[in-house]
Amino acid sequence: MTVWICRTCAVEQPDTVAPPGSCAVCSDDRQYVRPDGQRWTSMVELVAEGHRGSVAEVEPGLHGITVSPGVGIGQRSLLVRTPAGNLLWDPTGYVDDALEAAVRELGGVAAVASSHPHMFGAQVEWGRRFDAPVLVQDADRSWVQREDPCIQGWGESVEVLPGVTLHRIGGHFPGSAVAHLVGADGCNVLLTGDTVAGTPDEHWVSFMRSFPNQLPLSAAVVGRVADRVLALDFDRLHDNFGGRVLADAHTWVERSAERYIGWVRGDFDHLTEP
């Protein structure tokens, strides 16, 4: 049968003869269905179309994986390299033999995890190719469309590899998570997906219910998200689209949360009056 992949989000579906009627991820108010309707593809079709993956160093010990032309939401996955094996974070919705070989050259994949369901991508395909567990935060377990024995749940936090710990933060999804690690220079690094999203400024970050539909979170929720993130020790952060804060990230996340909360609470409404 065929493992169907949603054209819009690239999240894998069950192995069935016919594709599902709709994509649960894209039917949600955080995503969207394109004007021409729900469309499906498969990994075989994507390979035939000429998509290819590439790997590039983001910083020592951390590599980004991108697919061109883009597939689905088009995130940049991150490969965290450790002596005990590598974590594949926010897996792409595409993987072929050449991309698998490139990742094997960097030590392969010992575990797969994502910041939230929009980033599930081809997580089971990745997990199967590397015989690696796929970790899914318990609160978002119902968003898994393609079930597989390699999927494992986790709770509030889990040390997925020595020195690499996942933390549940919430906000964008109830199970939205970050990954905490120590960089090659000894500094603490946070991989935030879009639990905490970078901005073009490279200092400020943001927090959203929906990025494509531009739905904000409330002041109370962003306060809670900030409390959880700021309880962690980190010097820099990388999101899932190349957004980053390379210095004083803890301070900038705190400032960003205060700015955001001020706006959604109405502190600056006087600045918008016609």
- By CB under 5 A, name the binding residues for Zn ion: 6, 8-9, 23, 25-26, 118, 194
In this complex, which beta carbon is closest to Zn ion, that of residue 6 or of residue 222? Answer: 6
**Least distance CB 128 / Zn ion (angstroms):** 21
- Characterize the bridge pairing of strands 85-89 and 77-82: antiparallel
Q: In a 3-state reduction of DSSP, which class is residue 194? A: coil
**Least distance CB 222 / Zn ion (angstroms):** 16
**Least distance CB 133 / Zn ion (angstroms):** 22
In this complex, which beta carbon is closest to Zn ion, that of residue 26 or of residue 67? Answer: 26
**Least distance CB 120 / Zn ion (angstroms):** 10
Query: How many whole angstroms separate alpha carbon 34 and alpha carbon 172?
Result: 21
- Characterize the bridge pairing of strands 164-168 and 208-210: unpaired
In this complex, which beta carbon is closest to Zn ion, that of residue 26 or of residue 112? Answer: 26
Q: In a 3-state reduction of DSSP, which class is residue 182? A: strand
The number of beta carbons lying within 10 Å of the beta carbon of residue 158 is: 18
Structure tokens at 114: 């994502």
Q: In a 3-state reduction of DSSP, which class is residue 101? A: helix
In this complex, which beta carbon is closest to Zn ion, that of residue 183 or of residue 216? Answer: 216
Q: What is the CA radius of gyration of the chain?
A: 18
**Least distance CB 208 / Zn ion (angstroms):** 8
β-pair partners for 165: 159, 180
In this complex, which beta carbon is closest to Zn ion, that of residue 9 or of residue 124? Answer: 9
Closest by CA to 151, choosing from 29, 14, 6, 47, is 14
In this complex, which beta carbon is closest to Zn ion, that of residue 13 or of residue 66? Answer: 13
Query: How many whole angstroms separate alpha carbon 228 and alpha carbon 263?
Result: 20
**Least distance CB 194 / Zn ion (angstroms):** 5
Query: How many whole angstroms separate alpha carbon 39 and alpha carbon 7?
Result: 6
